[in-house]
Amino acid sequence: SREPIHEVTTMQFIDIKEVMQMTCVKKTFIYKKMKEGKFPKSIHLGKSTLWVKEEILQFMQEKMDERNRLKTL
């Protein structure tokens, strides 16, 4: 039997401006929710503060799923 083929994904780092653009929330909200453990944590690379784009997309998907669960109650 053959090994399953796993989809290869390319991780991408994004900065706060792109995170804000993707989520439509302000920087203060992002940092507050990060501190509360309710938003993906950032990565520090040199002087840059970055996020993993896939983690932001997953966060957004979880929020949509949460909304959809509430609609069915």
Q: What is the pLDDT of residues 3-37, one digit of tens each?
A: 655 555 688 999 999 999 999 999 999 999 999 99
pTM for this model (two decimals): 0.81
The gap from C-alpha 53 to its chain's centroid, in whole angstroms, comes to 6
Q: How confident is the model at residue 48 (pLDDT cuts 50, 70, 90)?
A: very high
CA-angle at 25, arms to 20 and 31, nearest 5°: 80
CA atoms within 13 A on the CB side of 60: 13
Cβ atoms of 68 and 62 within 8 Å: the answer is no
